[in-house]
Amino acid sequence: MPRYTVKQGDCIESIAAEFGVAWEKLWNHPENTDLRTARQDPNVLMPGDIVFVEKEMRLAACATDRLHRFERDTCLSTLVLVLKEFDQPRADEPYTLCVEGSIVNGTTDGNGKLETRIPSRARRGRLLLGKPEVQEEYRLDFGHIDPIQEASGIQGRLRNLGFATLDEFQKKQHLDVTGEADDATLARLNSEYGC
């Protein structure tokens, strides 16, 4: 049975799609108990983490004297973005999301939320936000946020939320300004970021 070493950009859903197994079965496999305990969120893994993968055998009845073509179902994951500017939701903004050759057009909701399905194995995307004459472009790297227990995970969340330092975040959130990643700060950062 293989053990897979996590690379930057991987999450349980992308790994499961790669091996053709259900992500829930992969995440909840008894051999992955230590990983679940350490990471708690299947979408936030650290490069170097080890995932036990048990491939499933699938049988198909078909004639032996003919050529057959089998295609694996496309696995989809839910992408959720909440877009803000100066703490205000980017409500009712038109957008174009480009992921792996697919283009999705839509409008953010009243809270600046964009929610759509994308291929589980997608690594990058591009978001065009706003009306065509004033459109902003954002590059999206899926699966590139490290666990919040890691310094890189804290910095990534701060950067994506628009903060240069932990002190700035603590001040804005009315927390004790210590510059330290204490439990209250990590809980608030996790809540603000969404994972």
Domain ranges of the chain: 3-52, 82-141, 151-193
Closest CA to 13 of 58, 57, 78: 78
Total Cβ atoms within 10 A of residue 57: 4
CA distance to 8, 79, 176, 189, per residue, from 183 (Å): 26, 27, 11, 10
**pLDDT bracket for residue 1 (50, 70, 90):** low
Q: Residue 56: pLDDT above 80? A: no
pTM for this structure? Answer: 0.78
Give the integer Cα–Cα distance in Å for 149 and 35.
Answer: 14
Closest CA to 146 of 157, 159, 161: 157
CA distance to 19, 70, 71, per residue, from 62 (Å): 23, 11, 14
Total Cβ atoms within 10 A of residue 138: 13
Beta bridge partners of 5: 50
> In percent, how much of the chain has pLDDT > 90?
73
Q: How confident is the model over 100-116, as a mean pLDDT?
A: 94
Residue 61 DSSP one-character state? -
Tell me the pLDDT tens digit for each residue of 31-51: 999 999 999 899 899 999 999
Mean pLDDT taken over the chain: 91
CATH code assigned to 3-52? 3.10.350.10
